[in-house]
Chains A and B, each alone.
Chain A
Amino acid sequence: MSLALVTLALVRQNRWILLMLVLWPVAMALILLWPNAAPDQDDVLSVLHQECFYALALVSVTGASQLGNEQRSRRTVFVLARSVSRAQYLLCGLISTLLASLTFTLSFLSCGFVLIRESGGDYAAVIAMAALQFFLCIWFASFGVFFSVFLPAILAAVAVSLCAGALFLLGRHTEMFGMTRLIAEMLTIPLNLTEAASGISAVGVISILGQSVFAFLLATYLFNRRDLQLTEN
């Protein structure tokens, strides 16, 4: 119950960002559809890829900045002065970031369907892209929360990007990290993909989710042992 209430409060606090997330894919779809109703498939693919990366950037910034913002505004005190543990609070932050990401993904999905209908292609391609985007968002959000425990928002967001970049490059040689697989898959999905699941590597997803859980548990461990960064301290 408490988890749901705190998550809801955090989501409500960021409702304008959520609205922007919903409107971004809509605006991009309108731009493509405006001159003529049948946009070029290459243009559609390019916009969908761009939106996928936009989602990752946005979720890492949101995840990296939320804890700092809440502490600076002292709303953290409102929650942690009550019967809510730090681990629960951090989980609420992660869930609210993922809800923002999910909102974007749903908007991406619905606008993607419209674009596919107008340009030709298979809906499975958009579903696969949305799924990959969301799995990657879980990783970016978890690592954003992890770095935000001990770094200021901007540095935390940069650290998430560097970490993702490092894992991506490392994975190209060892093929051990889900990051490389999922990003590569997201960028190579053809618009005529017939079955969404065939475009997603299960190993990659499990690897990404495992890393996310590890990052979150480590974040909780560290957050439990740190002072809150309230303004007067």
Chain B
Amino acid sequence: MLLFSCDNPPVAPALQFDQASKRYGAQTALNALTLSVEPGEIVGFLGPNGAGKSTAIHLAMGFLQLSGGGGTMLGKPFGDAAARARVGYLPDNPAFFSGTAKDAMSLAGALNGMRNPRLRTRTKEMLAAFSIDEPRKDVRKFSRGMQQRAAFAAALVHEPELLILDEPTSALDPMGIIEVRELLHAVRGEGHSVFFSSHQLSEVEEVCDRVAFLRSGKLERIGTLDELTAGGAQVEIMARIPGDVTGFEAQKMSDQRARFLVPRGGQRECIERIWANGGEVLSLTQQRRSLEELFIESQGFESKEAR
């Protein structure tokens, strides 16, 4: 007799912060962060410098000790060495031991339990995937961008279940950024989870399933892009109208068409006036907020335009 149905076994989050806090004396670097990354999900972590993004990542990796709360990574408490074997971590500022890029990748794989010939094959694959053309050059003499590529390759060499990336594209050129984007899509396609912090809002917008905003160590908001960007402050009304509509400014276009941007709640009055002036409403669209607007809003400061 089965005690539990195995059709839909509960799936533990790949990464879970449970009221995780970090304090340095009186200063709070992370304040009761509760957040989870589900298997196969990409979660972006946004916030200005000093918001606590790296602190959260360092807690998960076990580099820092929790001051309060807890958390699990692949079902094990933060800092568990066995769990780290299934995690690929890319630091914001990668460092390597003396040796070639190939050595660095082999060492990274071997420290996670990979052995030859699989390790050799994966090392070659990663060197090719990240366009590291000089695998025999001392990795410490690479440019910052190439070092980041090498570190990325080293984080992936052992085929991790969970990727934790701290500013993965900060030192990359546009081609590198596109490669990383494609790679993250591929990783998600294979069912792996990704948790990454970034300043590149377009990057986050492009690849993330969910986005979390952090401010002064506190989680401000979290949700899917659709959830977060819906409910913008304005409504766009496209209309065909011969003259002007008093009280509403319109952007005139060809064909007597005009585009009105009206505050949410004011659309009814605008439509009635368009009709009253013999016009015809062509479309009505709720304006979505951009991630940039959300970011600015969540950090509690206004953009220059808003001011």
Contact = CB atoms under 8 A, between A and B. Distances in A.
Interface of A: 1-2, 5-6, 9-10, 12-13, 15, 73-75, 77-85, 88, 225-228, 230, 232-233
A89 B112 CA distance: 14
B63 interface: yes
Contacts of B93: 74, 232
B108 A75 contact: no
A78 B108 contact: yes
Contact of B81 (A73, A74, A84): A84
Given A13-B98, A78-B104, 17 more contacts: A75-B95, A77-B89, A77-B95, A78-B94, A79-B111, A80-B63, A81-B61, A83-B81, A83-B84, A84-B81, A85-B81, A225-B65, A226-B65, A227-B64, A228-B63, A228-B64, A232-B93
Interface string B112-152: 11000000000000000000000000000000000000000
7 contacts: A12-B98, A78-B95, A78-B107, A81-B84, A82-B85, A88-B81, A227-B64
Contacts of A233: 24, 58, 64
Interface residues of B, number: 30
Contacts of A226: 65
Contacts of B96: 75, 78
B111 A5 contact: yes
Which of B63, B65, B82, B154 has its CB near the most chain A CB atoms (within 10 A)?
Answer: B63
B248 interface: no
Interface string B92-103: 011111110000
Contacts of A10: 97
A86 B5 CA distance: 40
Contact of A12 (B61, B85, B99, B112): B99
Contacts of B107: 5, 9, 78
Given A82-B85, A83-B112, A232 B97 contact: no
B61 A78 contact: no
A6 B93 CA distance: 20
B112 A227 contact: no
B62 interface: yes
Contacts of A232: 54, 93
B97 A12 contact: yes
